[in-house]
Amino acid sequence: MKKRLKKRAWVALATGVALLSVAGCSSASNSGQDAQSDKENAGSPKEVTISLGRVVGSDNKFKNGETIEDNVHTRWAKEKFGINFKVDWTVGTADAYNTRLRLLLNSNEKLPDVFTLNDPTMENQMVDSGKVMDITEAFDKYASPRIKDLYAKYPEIWNTVTYDGKHYGLPTFNANSSFSVLWIRKDWLDKLGLQPPKTIEDMEKVMDAFVNRDPDGNGVKDTIGLSLSLKKGVSAVKDTFMATSDFLFGHSAIPTYWSEGADGKLQYGSIQPTVKAGLGKLSEWMKKGYLDKDAGTMDEAKAAESFVQGKSGMIFGPTWMPQYPFNSDMKFDYEPVPIPAGIDGTMGFGSEPQSSVRFYFNKDFKNMDAFFNYLDAIMGPGFYDPSSEFANGWAEGYDYVMENGEPVYDPDKIPGGWIDVKKYTIYGNDIQTPKKELEVMAKLGRGEKPETPYEKYFSSRPKKWAEAAAVLQPYIDQAAVYDQFTGPPTETMAQKGELLRKMEDETFLKIIYGEEPVDSFDSFVAKWKSSGGDDITKEVNEWYQEVRK
């Protein structure tokens, strides 16, 4: 396996490289007509073809006879940049997409010109195969100034794609929309004369009241203090970050995350003393009935149902939960509040990585100039650029219409229905920049009037989403915890990581359910270290020292 080394320092250059233009020729014999034709076609972009593989799932909707290869967005790309997107194959799910790419890699068949990956192991295999391009020079030459500025601001994002000092992929940024708040039943708080909890001790008092003082007034002891999912372990590594227990551990240690210790080395969160104390609390809460007794088998969506259905008083999760899984049928009064300080006295929660998806390029791909020009354009919404062609939406008549000079996003007013055009892009979604979405939502949550088209677009989202963003923004920088190991699985991880994780999940659940004493955590730590954990820690820190040089 190639070793990932330190990222290069990227310097924002004065300008990107524009697409080449070619002069058209007229078949007319008249020389004046020839000159006029040349003049008219001088600005036409050079036509290029970019082959893709695409996921076309049930959430991809079309109208006007369009397809994933021929639609309002692909026609715009051809007109604007001369790009013909050629879809070599389609699949229905993300898993099938990864499987198809893996088969192409293993069978030595041609990879698409451009494709995305979010599996570090597979990405490592792609680079080792020699079939993907080192984009170091292309980024320097073709990326726009604002794209270079963004990557220079967050240089550590390159760690995910850097091998032997070269960049073999282009990381995309997460919007960091999974930052968390505590959602709580305000009507229950008011009925019982309680205040939102600010500490774990406060939280225990609130949960006890929610369970034992009949907050729903039905005369039956059938309410839950906190909705929690433990099916995937006591872990921040979850699909949606809903219904986790991350807040319990504070800022010092998040289970499964690697963070820097006082000695400057990375340490594994799951074996830290804070986690032992947190497991003790979860065990107490389970015994007292504060948690759903089936939390160990419930995924995030199932755990959230308890809150949605009015059976639970609290759930920890992202600001976007009013969009999903919350819904308009929830007739009770609930609100977002800051997360309470954890076991260590600090606020903390596991956050999504800076990058979850990376672009990779076939080593024979010749049109990086066209790609970067296109990328800069579709990132306009992520930069919140008011001059972007997508300032109002992705396509008029698809995800918005204009009325009296203003964009309107009401689906009932869009002929033929609302279409999610961003799913037609090469990325299959909008490409965000860190915290920009949160800034806009927080502004709306503070009751400020939407001014720009982007703010008006976001104002159609649930009001409580915006309120949650406003609650979150003041403490996000102090509370967000990121996993600082972003490399591919180390050699020992690949060999023993799955067994170690299984041992961790089983031990933690047994402690929470009272099947083992809290002190069994100590023997787990010793066994984790001797069974490969020490080797993994050594390998992780070798990687960490290299990328920090």
**Does the structure show a pLDDT above 80 at 224?**
yes
Sequence letter at residue 160:
T
Cβ atoms of 361 and 489 closer than 8 Å: no
CA distances 299 to 250, 257, 531, 549, Å, are: 23, 20, 29, 40
The reply to whether 33 falls in a domain is no
**Crossing angle (nearest 10°) for helices 368-378 and 145-153:** 80
Question: How many distinct structural domains can be found in the chain?
Answer: 2
Please tell me which residue, 23 or 397, carries the higher pLDDT value: 397
Alpha helix stretches (DSSP H) within 289-400: 300-308, 368-378, 380-383
Rounded Cα distance between 408 and 401, Å, is 5
**Does the structure show a pLDDT above 80 at 239?**
no
- Same domain membership, residue 156 and residue 121: yes
Structure confidence at residue 238 as a pLDDT band (50, 70, 90)? low
What is the sign of the dihedral through the CA atoms of 237, 241, 242 and 244? positive
- Same domain membership, residue 209 and residue 161: no
**Does the structure show a pLDDT above 80 at 66?**
yes
Structural domain boundaries, residue 516 = 180-350+482-548
The reply to whether 25 falls in a domain is no
Rounded to two decimals, the pTM is 0.82
The reply to whether 293 falls in a domain is yes
The reply to whether 377 falls in a domain is yes
- Same domain membership, residue 344 and residue 200: yes
Reported as a single tens digit per residue, the pLDDT across 389-443 is 999 999 999 999 999 998 998 899 999 999 999 999 999 998 989 988 899 999 9
**Crossing angle (nearest 10°) for helices 200-212 and 273-287:** 20
CA distances 47 to 17, 19, 375, 458, Å, are: 16, 10, 16, 35
Rounded Cα distance between 43 and 171, Å, is 32
- Tally: H helices and E strands in the chain: 19, 16
Cβ atoms of 157 and 148 closer than 8 Å: no
Structure confidence at residue 237 as a pLDDT band (50, 70, 90)? low
* CATH number of domain containing 326: 3.40.190.10
The reply to whether 32 falls in a domain is no
- Same domain membership, residue 64 and residue 206: no
- Same domain membership, residue 521 and residue 418: no
The reply to whether 363 falls in a domain is yes
The secondary element (H helix, E strand) that includes residue 207 is helix 200-212
Please classify residue 203 by burial: count the beta carbons closer than 10 Å to its beta carbon, then call 0-12 exposed, 13-18 middle and 19+ buried.
buried
Strand partners, 181: 317
CA distances 467 to 174, 198, 410, Å, are: 21, 18, 22
- Same domain membership, residue 386 and residue 333: no
The reply to whether 342 falls in a domain is yes
3-state SS string for 230-253:
CCCCCCCCCCCCCCCCHHHHCCCC
- Same domain membership, residue 95 and residue 68: yes
User: What pLDDT does 23 receive?
Assistant: 32
The DSSP 8-state label assigned to residue 389 in this structure reads T
- Same domain membership, residue 516 and residue 409: no
Cβ atoms of 2 and 164 closer than 8 Å: yes
- Same domain membership, residue 315 and residue 192: yes
Rounded Cα distance between 397 and 214, Å, is 51
Domain end, chosen from 368, 401, 429, is at 429
Structure confidence at residue 43 as a pLDDT band (50, 70, 90)? low
Mean pLDDT over residues 321-343, rounded? 95
- Same domain membership, residue 362 and residue 265: no
CA distances 156 to 150, 170, 210, 549, Å, are: 11, 12, 44, 12
Reported as a single tens digit per residue, the pLDDT across 178-223 is 789 999 999 999 999 999 999 999 999 999 999 999 999 999 999 9
Cβ atoms of 341 and 200 closer than 8 Å: yes
Mean pLDDT over residues 366-393, rounded? 94
Q: What percent of the chain has pLDDT over 70?
A: 91
Average pLDDT, the chain: 90
User: What pLDDT does 18 receive?
Assistant: 31
Rounded Cα distance between 423 and 440, Å, is 22
The reply to whether 460 falls in a domain is no
- Same domain membership, residue 506 and residue 412: no
User: What pLDDT does 142 receive?
Assistant: 98
Please calculate the CA angle 86-90-93 and round it to the nearest 5 degrees.
140
Reported as a single tens digit per residue, the pLDDT across 516-538 is 999 999 999 999 999 999 999 99
379-402: b (≥16 Cβ within 10 Å) or e = bbbbbbbeebebbbbbbebbbbbe
Cβ atoms of 250 and 342 closer than 8 Å: yes
Rounded Cα distance between 181 and 466, Å, is 12
User: What pLDDT does 11 receive?
Assistant: 28
- Same domain membership, residue 389 and residue 537: no
Sequence letter at residue 184:
I
Reported as a single tens digit per residue, the pLDDT across 252-299 is 899 999 999 999 999 999 999 999 999 999 999 999 999 999 999 999
Beta-carbon contacts of 443 under 8 Å, excluding residues fewer than 6 positions away, are 450, 455, 470
67-96: b (≥16 Cβ within 10 Å) or e = ebbebbbbebbbeebbbebebeebbeeeee
Rounded Cα distance between 38 and 533, Å, is 68
Alpha helix stretches (DSSP H) within 46-184: 72-81, 94-106, 120-129, 136-142, 145-153
DSSP result, 125-150: HHHHHT-B---HHHHHHHS-HHHHHH
